[in-house]
Amino acid sequence: MNDFTLRQSLRALRTERQPPHDLWQQIAPRLPVRRRAPWLPLAMAASLLVALPALLVLMRPVAPAGPARFASEVVREADAMSVQYRAALAEVGHLPLPDALRGAADQLERQAEQLHIALESHPQSVELLHQLRRTYDHRLRLSQRVALG
């Protein structure tokens, strides 16, 4: 197709026609009137009051979960476990242990103390924390055995 035939084809296209009168005047009255709810601006303001602090909290930099933070969590867990163990032992361990079980109970107490010392040296050791939990469980079972007869 050469330049001459392209121009002829373009001239042959229809030209844009304008409507004889403004159509909007007929359309506008048929549209439903939308009124804004009077409480809408208050609701929007309240949502901004809620969303802005939440956004600020989410944008706050988070402390990295490095080894020091993890280690302090392990030690904190061990301390909390010790408090729970002492409370549980006070509930079930009010009866004196027979001599046959007293030696085992003392050994478990010494083992728990050694595990606490080891946790101070190696605060990131989750295995020591698990061992401490197992030691406390064994000691509590001994006291429960006596309490249940």
The number of C-alpha atoms within 13 Å of 20 and in the hemisphere containing its C-beta is 0
What pLDDT is stored for residue 93 in this prediction?
A: 63
- Whether pTM > 0.85 for this model: the answer is no
Consecutive sets of 10 residues in the chain, 149 residues long: mean pLDDT of each? 85 78 83 78 76 73 59 82 83 75 87 89 86 87 77
Task: List, for residues 46-70, the tens digit of each pLDDT value.
Answer: 877 777 777 777 777 665 555 556 5
CA angle 141–80–71, rounded 5-degree value:
120
